Structure 1
Amino acid sequence: MADIKYEILEKIGEISVSPKGWTKELNLISWNDRPGKFDIREWDPEHEKMAKGITLSKEEALKLRELLNKIDF
């Protein structure tokens, strides 16, 4: 498997912390020198290891916000 290059451009916020210390975060990340995308995934404390996650374009993030705002919590 080829190495994946990433750079965390902006740490937006922490969603949760697991008992093992991994944090689920929302960040703006550049993958393989491409423009940044919004990214939700779990990271180890040193941000060297990551779990599978989801990346969203600005348009997708706006649509997700719209959908979440419709939910009556």
Structure 2
Amino acid sequence: MADIKYEIKENVGTISKSSKGWKKELNLISWNGNADKYDIREWDPDHKKMGKGITLSKEELKSIKDMLNNMEL
């Protein structure tokens, strides 16, 4: 498996935290030296291990924000 390189540029916030200390976070990340993307996934406390997640462009994140703003919760 190829070595994945990442740099967390900004921690936007924590969505939730598990009993084992892992946090589901929204971060701005550069993957393998590419342009920064917004990323939602679970991380261990040291940000060394990660779960599966979703990576979004700024435009995609704006679309989701608009959808959420129009929802009745």
Q: TM-score range by the shorter chain?
A: over 0.9
Structure 2 spans left out of the alignment, 5+ residues: none
Structure 1 spans left out of the alignment, 5+ residues: none
How does 1:1-73 map onto structure 2 within 5 Å? Answer: 1-73=1-73
Structure 1 or 2: more strand by fraction: 2
Give 3-state SS (helix, strand or coil) of 1:61's partner.
helix
Distance 1:20 1:64 in 2: 29
The residue type equivalent to 2:7 in the other structure is E
Distance 1:10 1:18 in 2: 21
Distance 1:20 1:12 in 2: 21
Give 3-state SS (helix, strand or coil) of 2:51's partner.
coil
Give 3-state SS (helix, strand or coil) of 1:53's partner.
strand
Identity, in percent, stands at 64
